[in-house]
Amino acid sequence: MKERTLAILKPDCIQNNLTGEVISHLLKAGFKIIGMKMVKLNQQTAGEFYAVHKGRPFYDELVEFMTESRVVALALEKEDAVTELRKTIGATDPAEAEEGTIRKLYAESKGRNIIHASDSVSNAILELGFFFSRRELIENV
């Protein structure tokens, strides 16, 4: 079944001029981009987005990192999009990521790992709604 999911090209992706390579990788993996925008998160919006991690040791560092510079939010569509995107990007720690995955190819470290991907269908719905209104997503692409 076709699903939608969210990917965020993180500040390290933008700062290292890897946006085109990562988007190309996603397109070659069969994802359709149905929404895309560049945004600058502030402490409040990054904190809201990552609220599920509040209280964890990495939360403050993650919020700080996500506010360093702009990010690109991508609404993606594909059969089993959530699972397929997680496979395409690889493990959070690039040292543990499989060869050919986005994080293995481009990420610096576990903390600076190039890309965010929704981890479940229910979170994908919530996360897409955080960045995109319904009218912003292109239907039947």
Give domain limits for the chain: 2-136
- Residue 34 to residue 124: CA distance in whole angstroms: 14
Contact in structure between 120 and 83 (CB atoms under 8 Å): no
- Measured distance CA(66)–CA(78) in Å, rounded: 26
Task: Give the CATH number of domain 2-136.
Answer: 3.30.70.141
- Contact assessment for residue 13 and residue 22, using Cβ atoms and an 8 Å cutoff: yes
For 17: left if phi > 0, alpha if psi spans -120 to 50, otherwise beta; the answer is: left
* Burial of 111 per CB tally in 10 Å (0-12, 13-18, 19+): middle
Torsion of CA 60, 36, 93, 112, to 10 degrees: -50
Residues 4, 10, 78, 116: which is the catalytic one? 116
What pLDDT is stored for residue 137 in this prediction? 92
Report the predicted TM-score, pTM, of the whole model to 2 decimal places. 0.94
Active site residue 53: no
What is the reported pLDDT for 140? 62
What pLDDT was estimated at residue 34? 97
Tens of pLDDT along the chain (141 residues)?
A: 699 999 999 999 999 999 999 999 999 999 999 999 999 999 999 999 999 899 999 999 999 999 999 999 999 999 999 999 999 999 999 999 999 999 999 999 999 999 999 999 999 999 999 999 989 998 765
b/e map of 87-103 (b: 16 or more CB within 10 Å)?
ebbbbeebeebeeebbb
**pLDDT value of position 139:** 76
**What is the model's pLDDT at position 134?**
87
